[in-house]
Amino acid sequence: MLQETAFTGNMKADSKPLSGSELLLRALQEEQVEVIFGYPGGAVLPIYDEIYHSNIPHVLPRHEQGGIHAAEGYARVTGKPGVVIVTSGPGATNIVTGLADAMMDSLPLVVFTGQVATNVIGTDAFQEADILGITTPITKYNYQVRNIEDIPRIVKEAFYIAKSGRPGPVLIDLPKNIATGTAHVSGTADIHLPGYQPTTKPNYLQIRKLTEAVSRAKKPVILAGAGILHAKATEELKQYAEQQRIPVVHTLLGLGGFPAYHELFVGMAGMHGCYAANMALYEADLLINIGARFDDRLTGNLDRFAPKAVVAHVDIDPAEIGKNVPTKIPVVADAKEALKELIAQNGEKPQTDAWLETIQTWKTEYPLSYDNDGSMLKPQKVIEMLYEKTNGEATVVTDVGQHQMWAAQFYKFKNAHKWVTSGGLGTMGFGLPASVGASIADRDSTVLCITGDGSFQMCSQELAVIKELNLPIKIIILNNTALGMVRQWQELFYEERYSHSKIPVQPSFEKLAGAYGIKGYTVNSEEEAERVLNEALSHRDPVLIDFRIDPGENVYPMVAPGKGLNEMAGVKKR
C-alpha cells in the first residue's frame, strides 16, 4: 500500500550516488538543525558514520529517555523541533515515554529510529520492534522509509508536520539497508500532504462575535495556555489584555506567557492554582480561552466549571474546541493571528473596573502562603529565594510532584520560554534531561532544575552530560525523603496509609554529584540556603544542592478530585 512517491528531485545519472545516511544528514542540514540528541547502536551505525563527518553538533545522553526529554526541553525553549536519533528495538522503545509526553504537551520533535533491514522486518530479527505500531497513538505522524529516494521528502514533511498547526512529535523509522543503500538523487524535495492544512487565520465572524461579547461583559477573564507560547504571541496577549483591560489567568503550561508582575495578571489556576485565579474562572461571565485545552487538572469538576460564563475558545486544533467544555464562540486559529485580529477590532471596552477591584481584593486577601516557624526548611521558601536571587529571569525546569507545583506557584516569571515542565503526561524523570536541552537552547540563561528526590533518581545518569558539556545548570533537589505528591494524597485521601511512598534510603546526592565531578551541597536551614545559593549562583558551572526540606509539607491550595474550582482546600486569609 505504498503511495506513489512525490519526490521531485531531478535524477542525475552522472552524479555520484548518495547513501541513505548521506541524504538524511543533508536533509537535517537543510532544516538547519542545531543539535542532535542521539544514542548509537547496530541499526544506526551507518547514520553515525555520517554524523562522524558532519558538523551538526551531537549530544550523547546516557539513556535514550534522557535524549528525548532533552530534545523536549530544547523544543519547549526554542519552539523548533528537537531532533533525536536512536537505534532499533530497545533504543526505540526507550523513547516511548518521551513521545507520549511530547504528544500531550504539543512539543515539536522529529525522531529517527533505526530499524532492521527491510528483508527481515516482521521476522523478529535481532533488535526488531514494531515501533510504528507502538508509537501510532503517541505521535502526530510516523513514517517508515521504504525507498531511499523518499528520504529528502519525508524529512522535509516530518519537520513541517512537527512544527506547524498544533505541534507534536513525528517519528521516522529507517531500516538499515535504506541507510546504507545508495540512490542517484539530487535537488530538493517538495512536500506532498493533501490531507493536512492547518487553519491559522481566524474566521472573521467569530472574531466579531467575540469582540461583541467582550464589550458586553462585566466579568471577562482570559485563560492563557501554552498555545500563546507556541504561537509566540506574548506581545499580542499583553496588548489585547491592556487594550480591553481584561485580567489574565494562566494554565500550568502557559506560565511566562503573561508577565507575572503585570497588574492584570491574576495567577495560575487549577488543582494547585491560587485563590484569585480559580475564583476568577468560577465567577467570570465571559471566559476567553486562548491556547489551553481545558485539561481536567485545570477545570476540576467539569459540572461546576465556569458556571456563569459564556465560553469562547481560540485554538489551532479544532478538535479541542468543545471537547471538554461547551463553547459558544469557537475560533479556530493560531493564537497570534487571532489576537492580532482582536486588537485590530479595537472593540468597545467592557466596564471591568469593579471586576478588577474584586480580583485585586482576592489577590491581597488570599495570597499564596505557607507556615514558616523557622524550625524546618520550607520548600516554598527555597523557591522564593531562587526567584529573588535570579531576578525571575532564570530558565526553570521541573520534574513532577510537589516541587513542580511549588515552583509554579512561587517562581514569578518575567519572561516567556523560560518554563519547562511536563504537564499533560506528568513524567517523573523529565526534569534533569530536559534541563540539558533547555540549557543548550538558551546558552546564556542560568537553568534551575527543580526536582524531587524521587524524580531525580529516575534520570540521574544525565549528570554525566551536564558535566561533559559543563552546562550552567543548578540542580535543586527539594528532598523530603518521599514521593511527596503521592504521600500527600495518601495523607489526605487514604487516612495516612503511606503505601510505598517513603524513600528514606537514599544515596548522598552531594557525593553522587561529586562522583560525576559536579560540586554538591547539602542544605538544612535558611541560613545555609542563603550562603550556598549565593555561592552556587555566582558562577556558571553546574552544581547540585540537596535541600533537606520539611517532609510533612503539603501543596496548597488544593482542589480535591471531584471538587469545583471554588471549593479549594487550604486557602488562608491574610
Partner 1 sequence: MKRIITLTVNNRPGVLNRITNLFSKRNYNIESITVGHSEQEGVSRITCVVNVENDKIIEQITKQLNKQIDVLKVTDITDQAMVSRELALIKVLATPATRSEIYSLIEPFRASIIDVGRETLVIQITGESDKIEAFIELIRPYGIKELARTGTTAFLRGNQRLASQTKNISIL
Ligand X SMILES: Cc1ncc(C[n+]2csc(CCOP(=O)(O)OP(=O)(O)O)c2C)c(N)n1
Contact between 271 and ligand X by CB under 6 A: the answer reads no
The residues in 201-240 that bind ligand X, with binding defined as CB under 6 A, are: none
The strand pair at 18-19 and 182-183 is best described as: antiparallel
Distance CA 333, CA 344 (A): 16
485 is catalytic: yes
Distance CA 9, CA 188 (A): 5
Residue 512 φ/ψ, nearest 5 degrees: -60, -45
| 8 A C-beta contact, residue 401 and residue 453 | no
247 binds, among partner 1, ligand X, none (CB under 5 to 8 A by kind): none
Of 144, 174, 194, 190, the residue nearest 7 (C-alpha):
190
Nearest approach, Cβ of 326 to partner 1 (angstroms)? 9
Which residues of the shown chain bind partner 1 in the complex (CB under 8 A)? 1-4, 132-133, 136-137, 140-142, 144, 161, 193-196, 199, 203, 317-319, 321-323, 330, 332
| 8 A C-beta contact, residue 308 and residue 283 | yes
Specify the stretch interacting with ligand X by CB under 6 A; choose among 266-274, 304-312, 475-483, 510-518.
475-483
Contact between 41 and ligand X by CB under 6 A: the answer reads no
126 is catalytic: yes
Of 233, 174, 137, 135, the residue nearest 42 (C-alpha):
174
Residue 112 Cα distances to 19, 37, 108, 322, 355, angstroms: 16, 10, 13, 34, 51
Distance CA 85, CA 328 (A): 44
3 binds, among ligand X, partner 1, none (CB under 5 to 8 A by kind): partner 1
Total number of residues that touch ligand X (CB under 6 A):
20
Contact between 25 and ligand X by CB under 6 A: the answer reads no
Strand partners, 41: none
- Nearer to ligand X among residue 33 and residue 408 (C-beta): 408
Specify the stretch interacting with ligand X by CB under 6 A; choose among 55-63, 149-157, 424-432, 461-469.
424-432
176 is catalytic: yes
**Residue indicated by cell numbers 558562577:** 539
SS (H, E, C) 75-135: HHHHCCCEEEEECCCHHHHCCHHHHHHHHHCCCCEEEEEEECCCCCCCCCCCCCCCHHHHH
State the catalytic residue, choosing from 80, 140, 156, 176. Answer: 176
Nearest approach, Cβ of 455 to ligand X (angstroms)? 3
Residue 93 φ/ψ, nearest 5 degrees: -70, -25
Contact between 113 and ligand X by CB under 6 A: the answer reads no
Dihedral (Cα; 36, 42, 46, 48), 10-degree rounding: 30
- Nearer to partner 1 among residue 142 and residue 289 (C-beta): 142
State the catalytic residue, choosing from 405, 485, 558, 568. Answer: 485
Distance CA 181, CA 145 (A): 12
Of 360, 132, 138, the residue nearest 265 (C-alpha):
360
Contact between 564 and ligand X by CB under 6 A: the answer reads no
Nearest approach, Cβ of 382 to ligand X (angstroms)? 12
Beta-strand ranges (E) seen in 239-377 are 248-250, 265-268, 286-290, 310-315, 329-332
DSSP for 488-519, please give it: HHHHHHSTT--TT-B------HHHHHHHTT-E
127 is catalytic: yes
- Nearer to ligand X among residue 72 and residue 149 (C-beta): 72
Chosen residue from 397, 483, 543, 568 binding ligand X by CB under 6 A: 483
The residues in 522-551 that bind ligand X, with binding defined as CB under 6 A, are: none
Dihedral (Cα; 272, 278, 282, 287), 10-degree rounding: -110
426 binds, among ligand X, partner 1, none (CB under 5 to 8 A by kind): ligand X
**Residue indicated by cell numbers 471538587:** 563
State the catalytic residue, choosing from 11, 12, 126, 388. Answer: 126
Strand partners, 522: 546
- Residues 6+ away with beta carbon under 8 Å from 541: 470, 472, 518, 519
- Nearer to ligand X among residue 225 and residue 431 (C-beta): 431
Chosen residue from 18, 154, 237, 486 binding ligand X by CB under 6 A: 486
- Nearer to partner 1 among residue 306 and residue 458 (C-beta): 306
Chosen residue from 259, 452, 472, 520 binding ligand X by CB under 6 A: 452
**Cis, peptide link before residue 557, omega less than 30° from 0:** yes
Nearest approach, Cβ of 466 to ligand X (angstroms)? 18
- Nearer to partner 1 among residue 4 and residue 444 (C-beta): 4
- Nearer to partner 1 among residue 41 and residue 165 (C-beta): 165
State the catalytic residue, choosing from 22, 31, 50, 64. Answer: 64
| 8 A C-beta contact, residue 549 and residue 379 | yes
2 binds, among partner 1, ligand X, none (CB under 5 to 8 A by kind): partner 1
Specify the stretch interacting with ligand X by CB under 6 A; choose among 74-82, 366-374, 480-488, 527-535.
480-488
Contact between 403 and ligand X by CB under 6 A: the answer reads yes
Contact between 431 and ligand X by CB under 6 A: the answer reads no
Cell reading at 398: 521541573
Contact between 485 and ligand X by CB under 6 A: the answer reads yes
The residues in 453-472 that bind ligand X, with binding defined as CB under 6 A, are: 453-455
350 binds, among partner 1, ligand X, none (CB under 5 to 8 A by kind): none
Active-site annotation, residues: 64, 126-127, 176, 485
Interface residues toward ligand X, by CB under 6 A: 399-403, 426-429, 452-455, 478, 480, 482-486
